[in-house]
Structure 1
Amino acid sequence: MFNLFQAIPSISTAELAEKLKEKPMILDVRTPSEYQSGHIPGAKNHPLDKINSYRQKNAETVYVICQSGMRSKQAARALKKQGYEVVNVAGGMNRWTNSTRKGKYA
């Protein structure tokens, strides 16, 4: 039986950095201005307040990131309820020490 209260798996920013060569689906749920000020290369911006409209065609795991890890946890729960396989990135961009890109698009 599906349990809405099951824990959302999480990884560290260092673990996510190791996965970048695999081109994972990274969903940045910060506001557009936060995203434009610096985001992980390849990350797609989909703000938390619009998370219920998120659609992805394939079934790959979605890595969800925000600034500190709080909004991404909320977004991950919402996406899990929609049936997505999700992983929260603990610590968010506050802990990201690798390169970032600025601007609208990844």
Structure 2
Amino acid sequence: MGMIQWIILIGIVAFVIRKFMPVKGVSQATVLEAKKKFNDKNVQFIDVRTPQEYQANHRKPFKNIPLSQLTQQTNKLNKNKEVVVICQSGMRSMKAAKILKKHGFESVTNVKGGMSSWV
């Protein structure tokens, strides 16, 4: 294998690792752990699925802010409160968690497995 192929391979591996590694400062919670926070007034619950997905199946107190609109709507959230983020499988909510961290949110929690894990 030539030098260029090695560089491309290393770049691909680094990209995949970065894509799936937990984000620094983002907590992971099970569905059960997320449910235990429902009565906490210092926690905001955001569902980043599409409006259609949200309407078909959602849980209170999660509010729908689709991932595609999150960057423009971070001003609707309180940076001083924890944000618990969910999607269908946990992938989009992890992207949302990264966006929130970049916008200065200190406490962000991703629900592992998303709505697919809801019991």
Q: TM-score, normalised by structure 1?
A: 0.80
Query: 2:70 pairs with 25, 46, 51, which one?
Result: 51
Query: 2:95 pairs with 74, 82, 100, which one?
Result: 74
Worse overlay, 21-30 or 9-18: 21-30
Match for residue 26 of structure 1?
A: 45
Question: How many angstroms does 1:21 deviate by?
Answer: 2.3
Structure possessing the higher radius of gyration over alpha carbons: 2
Worse overlay, 23-32 or 61-70: 23-32
The Cα RMSD (Å) is 1.4
Identical counterparts, % of pairs:
42
Report SS of the residue matched to 1:30.
coil
* Counterpart code for 1:63: V
Bigger relative contact order, structure 1 or 2 (CA pairs below 8 A, ≥6 apart): 1
Match for residue 32 of structure 2?
A: 14
More helix by share: 2
**Following TM superposition, where does structure 1 have runs of at least 4 consecutive aligned residues deviating by more than 4 angstroms?**
none
Question: How many angstroms does 1:7 deviate by?
Answer: 4.8
Mark the CA change 1:66 to 1:52 in structure 2 (over 3 Å): closer, same or farther.
same
Worse overlay, 6-15 or 40-49: 6-15
* Counterpart code for 1:34: E
Q: Show structure 1 runs of 5+ residues with no match.
A: 98-106
